[in-house]
Amino acid sequence: MKKILVTGALGQIGSELVMHMRSIYGNDNVIATDIRRIDGNVAVESGPFEILDVKDAKRMAEIAKQYNADTIIHLAALLSAVAEAKPVLAWDINMGGLFNALEVARELNCAFFTPSSIGAFGPSTPSVNTPQDTIQRPQTMYGVTKVSGELLCDYYFKKFGVDTRGVRFPGLISYETLPGGGTTDYAVDIYYEALKNHKYSSFIKQGTYMDMMYMPDALNAIVTLMEADPSKLVHRNAFNITAMSFEPSQIAAEIKKHIKDFEISYNVDPVRQAIADSWPDSIDCTAARQEWGFSSKYDLASMTTDMLNKLSGKLNIK
Ligand code: SER
């Protein structure tokens, strides 16, 4: 990876990945793109930035050529809850954008990463210790685009030799940029509300287990996978990875160790609860560990300490 084009660069993952990659590969070698510009944003100000709607194939190719990109990190997509509310738009952006990005990668011979998700699984998937290769019949538009995306990326590798690689991310927890309308977002919101109001009303019901990961581990996973020796990769799109699995009362109990009077209550959103119920409780990431050395550093306790620490600084709450 020498010249890396990132789409969706101002989203939850992109805003941190751009900075992480600029620190490794050099500021000028990571080209951030997003559908909108946010002046003052560190990813916009610290290196090249271009406005790009991923539905615009021509513009995407122009930018990739202009900067001589050899790698595309395609992050622009709608998350699960928004995709359920706007399924047609979700298909357009998630599949149309991916197809355009793969075509650019094919034309310019770029390495390619795009995230899949635990959302690529569905109610008929074994939900505990979900294997790498298993039933994938999701019933959400988000899940449909993620499974289709995995297949399309595998196709581009087999048919055209494009070096496509991906992971199935669990819920990602971070303090820099909020996630944009997912189901696992409760596990981010809870930290903000804990610091601001010492209480949180969860839209996910007690007892609902989902896989999660702290952002530093997710960034590390992307770079490690993209730098991995291709001869070791049996799978490509996409590897199960996870760092922890918990349900709302467990994250609440962990927060309570820091904020003694913190209380969780429940006001369940049926749409997001149904999505969560259709996702695994915990996935097995043996293939990622074996094929490219995936590992994670943060568990629920260490993530909670770091999140509360960083977020209290950001929100200026003592
Ligand atoms: N975090 C995502 C969501 O909840 C899952 O990939 O939509």
The residue assigned the tokens 């949180």 is 200
Q: How far is the CA of 68 from the centre of ligand 1 (A)?
A: 32
Contact 109, 144 (CB under 8 A): no
The preferred substitution site among 173, 177, 184 for testing ligand 1, maximizing ligand atoms within 8 Å of CB, is 184
Q: By three-state DSSP, how is residue 283 classified?
A: strand
| Tokens encoding 209 | 């287990």
pLDDT at position 185 is 96
- State in Å: Cα 122 to ligand 1 middle: 13
Beta strands in 128-279 (DSSP E): 128-130, 164-165, 167-169, 171-173, 199-202, 210-214, 239-240, 244-246, 263-266
CA distance 210 to 229: 30
- Residue pair 1/69 in contact by the 8 Å Cβ criterion: no
DSSP 246: E
So which residues are the catalytic ones?
A: 142
Of the CATH numbers 3.40.1280.10, 3.40.50.720, 1.10.10.60, 3.20.20.70, which one belongs to the domain with range 4-169+216-240?
A: 3.40.50.720
DSSP strands (E only) in 164-297? 164-165, 167-169, 171-173, 199-202, 210-214, 239-240, 244-246, 263-266, 282-283
The pTM for the full model equals: 0.97
* Lining residues, ligand 1, CB within 6 Å: 79-80, 117-119, 169, 171, 182-184
Q: Are 191 and 255 in contact (CB under 8 A)?
A: yes
| Closest-lying ligand 1 atom to the alpha carbon of residue 81 | 7
Structure tokens, 204: 């996910």
Q: How many CB atoms lie within 10 A of CB 314?
A: 12
CA distances from 105 to 7, 97, 111, 157, 301 (A): 13, 12, 7, 11, 40
Return the residue whose CA atom lies nearest to atom 6 of ligand 1. Answer: 117
How far is 148 from 258, CA to CA, in rounded Å? 42
Phi/psi of residue 169, nearest 5 degrees: -70, 145
Q: Which of 207, 188, 213 is nearest to 297 (CA)?
A: 213
Quick one: which H or E segment has residue 308? helix 300-314
pLDDT tens by residue, the chain, 318 residues: 899 999 999 999 999 999 999 999 999 999 999 999 998 888 999 999 999 999 999 999 999 999 999 999 999 999 999 999 999 999 999 999 999 999 999 999 999 999 999 999 999 999 999 999 999 999 999 999 999 999 999 999 999 999 999 999 999 999 999 988 999 999 999 999 999 999 999 999 999 999 999 999 999 999 999 999 999 999 999 999 999 999 999 999 999 999 999 999 999 999 999 999 999 999 999 999 999 999 999 999 999 999 999 999 999 987
Torsion (CA) 129, 121, 220, 27 in degrees, nearest 10: 180
CATH 3.40.50.720 region(s) of the chain?
Answer: 4-169+216-240, 171-212+242-314
Instruction: Find tokens 């074994």 and name the residue.
Output: 126
CATH code at 171-212+242-314: 3.40.50.720
